[in-house]
Structure 1
Amino acid sequence: MTRTRLIAALVMAPAAIAAILLLPTPWLMALTAVVFMAGLWEWFDLADVRDSLARSVLLAANLALMVALVWASRSSAGFSFVLLQLVSLIGVVWWLVSLLWLGRYEFASDPDSHARAIKLAAGTLSLVPAWCALAWIHGEDGDVGHRWLLAALAIVWAADSGAYFAGRRFGGKLFKGRRLAPRISPNKTFEGLLGGLVAGVAVGIGLGLFAGASVAQLPWVVLASVIAVLFSVIGDLFESLLKRHAGMKDSSQLIPGHGGVLDRLDGVLAALPAFAVAKALFGF
């Protein structure tokens, strides 16, 4: 599995990096909208929405919301990121609220209309703010925005890999077998979390310098990287919770060794709004 996972990553990573660094923001927004909508389609399975017509209507509604945000952000003076910033902030608030859900495993676990509605709302609150944050980071900072977006995403990718390998190597050895969230994701360990933090911060520092951060700004970059990694863990755990409720191991089998699109996006969905807001607050 590790070899298959690595090969798939080596195929996906260059394509993603090229898109981030080379595409203009509007084209990147369009491309990532397609990817995010693919993730939302998989989310419908986790929310127990099986009817194709209902899924298509819900997908169209979310896409229409994204288009409306872009349309409302245009003016004769140019494009304003205010709406995207506001939605990104809503995303940060949502992920903090989701901690309460993670603490109550049984909440919305029954496959009824009440639970479906809650999980569908959670899907919109997860994907749309992340897409807005992606556009905000990439588009607002001119020539260096694409580098900051690469940094934000690479922090999550590095944290995911660091957690995976640290968990396999040291899992259960440093924290006496304590698990991060045993009922939600039994394989996640505190050793893995620590490894993810180290890897994420290291990449954040390196790519922060690449994006133009000064030495004086590095402490803030480190703090933003820590925040992004911690939020990515929340996103990962939240998707794991939904998969537990749905009795699924992966959101799909689309990507060999990685599961579905949503399995690759779960941490990113929570980390992007957090990093974008932290970057704005810390002023780098």
Structure 2
Amino acid sequence: MTGQRVLTAALLGPLAIAAVLWLPTPILAALLAIVFLLGLWEWTRLVGLTHVLPRLGVLTAGAAIMAVLTWSARPGGLFPFQLTLLIGAGWWLLAALWLRRFEFMRQATASARGIKLLAGLLATVPAWCALVLLHADGEFGPRWALLALSLIWAADTGAYFAGIRYGTSRLAPRISPGKTWAGLWGGVGASLLVAVLAAPLLGLGLAQLPALLLLSAIAVGFSVVGDLYESLLKRHAGCKDSGGLIPGHGGVLDRIDSLLAALPAFALGKAWLGL
């Protein structure tokens, strides 16, 4: 299984990097919409929707929101995108509180299903907005978008190796027994290293490095919430993976869960810190 995971990552990683760096924003936005909507499709299964038509209805709602936001993103018309980022980041702060209440909305009731479906839209659409906004932000936009992705990839890798080597204290044993505090700090350290290496490529000097490091740490913190929240959904649903589309990696949602929470926080933090 590990070999399959490595092979899949080796094939998909360069493609993702090339797409972010060299595709025009409109084309990349369309491809990203497909990816995030696939994640939303898997989300609908996790929350208990079994029939195709209701699941397609949720998917259509997500696609319609993305289309409206795209239409509104004319020159001087980016406020709907920015507002969506605020809503998304606010949702993930609430999700962090939800993680403290494992039993909340665990039962397969209509109200629980409805709230979790709304959560799916609040997770996927703002993350898509964030990545599109980052990519479209001037000459260095594609590099900023790639940095946002790379920080979370590095955090996942650092958390894995630090957790194996030093992990004894569990971060959230009931939700995800494999995650440890050592893994968390290892992930933060790896992401900060990536940020230091990336700073010159973004045209940033030493004076701006502390702000970039703070932004990176915030993004990783949010990514942990996204990862744990998807684990919570899977625990509630009794599933190991969100799907089986990516060999060795589970479903699309399993690969983007951290990004869903990190991207809105990263985009908002970048604007707030003036980077």
What does 1:1-284 correspond to in 2, within 5 Å? 1-74=1-74, 78=75, 80-140=77-137, 142-172=138-168, 178-284=169-275
The amino acid of 2:26's aligned partner reads P
CA deviation after TM superposition for structure 1 residue 166, in Å: 1.1
Residue by residue over 1:169-224, the C-alpha shift from the partner in whole angstroms, topping out at 9 and shown as x without a partner, is 2211xxxxx21001000110011101100001111221232122221100000000
Question: TM-score normalised to the size of structure 2?
Answer: 0.98
Cα distance, 1:112–1:5 mapped onto 2, change above 3 Å: same
- The 3-state SS of whatever aligns with 1:143 is coil
Q: Distance in 2 between matches of 1:120 and 1:219?
A: 38
Aligned length in residues: 275
- SS of the residue corresponding to residue 140 of structure 2 reads helix
Contact 2:69 2:81 in 1 (8 A): yes
How far residue 70 of structure 1 moved from its aligned partner, in angstroms, is 1.1
TM-score by length of 1: 0.95
Is contact 1:228-1:274 (8 Å) kept? Answer: yes
Q: Distance in 2 between matches of 1:204 and 1:248?
A: 34
Q: Residues 8 and 246 of structure 2 are in contact (CA less than 8 Å); yes or no, is this contact kept in structure 1?
A: yes
Unaligned 5+ segments in structure 1 are 173-177
User: Aligned with 2:108: secondary structure?
Assistant: coil
CA separation of 1:33/1:269 partners in 2, compared to 1, >3 Å: closer, same or farther?
Answer: same
Distance 1:274 1:67, change over 3 A: same
Once residues 204 and 212 of structure 2 are traced to their aligned partners in structure 1, the CA distance between those partners, rounded to angstroms, is 8
Measured after TM superposition, the shift of residue 81 of structure 1 is 2.2
Distance 1:161 1:113 in 2: 38
User: How far, CA to CA, are the matches of 2:77 and 2:142 in structure 1?
Assistant: 17
Letter in 1 for 2:274: G
- SS of the residue 1:50 aligns to: coil
Q: Are 2:72 and 2:78, in contact at CA under 8 Å, matched by a contact in 1?
A: no
RMSD of aligned Cα (Å): 1.0
SS at match of 2:50: coil
CA deviation after TM superposition for structure 1 residue 73, in Å: 2.3
Residue 175 of structure 1 corresponds to which residue in structure 2? none
Identity %: 55
Unaligned residue ranges in structure 2 (runs of 5+): none
CA contact 1:220–1:282 (8 Å) conserved in 2:
yes
Q: Deviations over 1:218-274 (max 9, x none)?
A: 000000000011100000000000000000001011112211100000000000001
SS, match of residue 186 in structure 1: strand
C-alpha distance in 1, partners of 2:95/2:58?
Answer: 22
Q: What letter corresponds to residue 283 of structure 1 in structure 2?
A: G
Q: How many Å apart are 1:156 and its aligned residue? A: 0.3
Q: Distance in 1 between matches of 2:204 and 2:241?
A: 37
Q: Which amino acid aligns with 2:242?
A: S
